[in-house]
Amino acid sequence: MSRRTVLAAAAAGGGGVAAARLLGLHRAVEGEPGRSPAAPAASRPGLDWVSPLGAKGEAARAEEARIAHLLRRTTFGASTAELDRAITDGFERTVERQIDTPAAPPPPLPGAETATNSSRLPIDRLQIWWLDHMLASPTPFAEKMTLFWHGHFTSEYRKVELGSPFMYWQNLTWRKMALGDLRSMLTQVTTDPAMLRYLDLSQSTGRAPNENYARELMELFTMGPEAYGEDDVRAAAKALAGWREPRTPEMIDDQIEQQIKRTGKAPATRPQPDLVKTGVFDRSRAFTGGGTLFLGGVRVWDTGSVIDRILEQDETAPFFARRALSAFVSTAPADETVRRLADGFRKTGYDVRELMRSVLLAPEFSAPAAYRALVKSPTEFMLHALKALQAPSLTRLVQQSGFGMGQSLFDPPSVGGWGDHEFWVTSNDLLARANFVTAALGQVRRLPPSDDAHRLYLDAVLSPGTLDTLNAARDEKARWTLILVSPEFQLK
């Protein structure tokens, strides 16, 4: 769809000016040549507002803005009641509640546990199931962390396929492990059935090691590209070999049924189902050679000792500290901040819960420069819009719109996952956001009042351009269009 078509559609709802301003966000977030994209919002061209965080002489307003800032980073948007509760509790108590409340599990997805090649799980049902839970969950921070790990420890349904419960299981596992200790997390990631298939570890044997997972484990998942060599990849691949995918009773039944259809005969010996939802280690497929050199140490390695060795490396703690800071605080965290959080992360025994507590309570999180310094991902933007419009039934529209914005759940573009922040600021992506707002407003039967929306969703911190267009809005639909398509609403 062309820019002209999108602007015309937005204008029909009173949002032509707002759509044009949203498209201007592309230049504003990227900044001018030589300007860091992490510069404070008030100093970037086109983003002409002043951060209320730490406002002198306005302690109550600054604290309320700080709490709203926290909720934008740690939830998919807050209702009036949720914001009021957080303000009553205060910033620190709200952080503690988010961090320490156990994740609420999603409802079972019918047909997911019994999926087979003959009875595949439709991807749209899997995506909508998770989107529904993101909106409805009483523990939205747990869903934010599940989404964070979904983009870090990636797998995609096209290669894993949906003739098994594997992608569904992975989502459940990432939620359970989201705030656990890193060693357990890496063990679960390594033996996750979807990951075994996605990065070919289930095809790896001691005689013919596959290096895909070993390489990505070190480069993308734990340490970075400068922390290892090719000999380390080969040694880790040997040590990790031997895992196979589990087989459910339904998968075995389907396999036998298909064999009968092809050959007219059932197998002489019926395969036994596995009673676990993780990979199964088969010693006959493992490496049986002697000791090898891996990350500077020589011994006979296995999965557990490979993970332990990675955790001993100097690069590991800063890798995760930087990743968490980049996702929740700033696109370019200061090296000193990374070092401080990394040191604390090591001292806790790599406790991710404590790392995230340190991130959210860090002075950098609430600094004026952090205000609206990050761009909402498409999923965050769309769910926040539905929350504002009180329209939880529109998750199918979210599912259908994600691809056009560059983020379709369970379908990352590569093993590197999706980009962050300015990655989402392209003309095409922003046009898709305007399209989504137009479509959502067209499907909402009764719009909530917009009188206080500029305070609830934009902190009443508006650029002159946004203020002028809101003042000129002629009805509720036009006002909601302007709010949801404003540059301010795209940021967090």
pLDDT confidence band for 10 (50 / 70 / 90): very low
| 24 pLDDT higher than 80 | no
| 38 pLDDT higher than 90 | no
**What would the pLDDT profile of 394-450 be if each residue is shown by its tens digit?**
999 999 999 999 999 999 999 999 988 888 988 889 999 999 999 999 999 999 999
pLDDT of residue 169: 98
Q: Among 38-42, 266-270, 330-334, 444-448, which stretch is predicted with the lowest mean pLDDT?
A: 38-42
> What does the buried/exposed string (b/e) look like for 233-269 if buried means 16 or more CB atoms within 10 Å of the residue's CB?
bbbbbbbbbbbbbbbbebbbebbeeeeeeeeeeeeee
**What would the pLDDT profile of 279-305 be if each residue is shown by its tens digit?**
999 999 999 999 999 999 999 999 999
| 44 pLDDT higher than 80 | no
Q: 10 vs 78, which has greater pLDDT? A: 78
Q: Between the CA atoms of 317, 322, 324 and 326, what dihedral angle is there, to the nearest 10 degrees? A: 180
Query: From the CB of residue 124, how many other CB atoms can be counted at a distance below 10 Å?
Result: 11
pLDDT of residue 48: 79
Residues 6+ apart with CB under 8 A from 183: 307, 308, 311, 350
What does the domain layout of the chain look like in residue ranges? 3-49+373-490, 123-222+228-247+277-311, 316-370
pLDDT of residue 22: 57
pLDDT of residue 227: 98
pLDDT of residue 49: 86
pLDDT confidence band for 26 (50 / 70 / 90): low
Q: Tell me the C-alpha distance between 278 and 389, whole Å.
A: 40
| Nearest CA among 38, 77, 31, 37 for reference residue 330 | 38
Average pLDDT, the chain: 91
pLDDT confidence band for 4 (50 / 70 / 90): very low
| 19 pLDDT higher than 70 | no
Residues 6+ apart with CB under 8 A from 59: none
Distance of CA 423 to the CA centre of its chain: 14
Using CA atoms, how far residue 12 sits from 39, 179, 389, 404, in Å, is 35, 45, 19, 21
Mean pLDDT of 9-19: 44
pLDDT of residue 365: 98
**What would the pLDDT profile of 188-228 be if each residue is shown by its tens digit?**
999 999 999 999 999 999 999 999 999 999 999 999 999 99
Task: Quote the pTM value.
Answer: 0.92
% of the chain residues with pLDDT over 70: 90
pLDDT of residue 338: 98
| 30 pLDDT higher than 90 | no
pLDDT of residue 339: 98
Q: Tell me the C-alpha distance between 453 and 443, whole Å.
A: 19
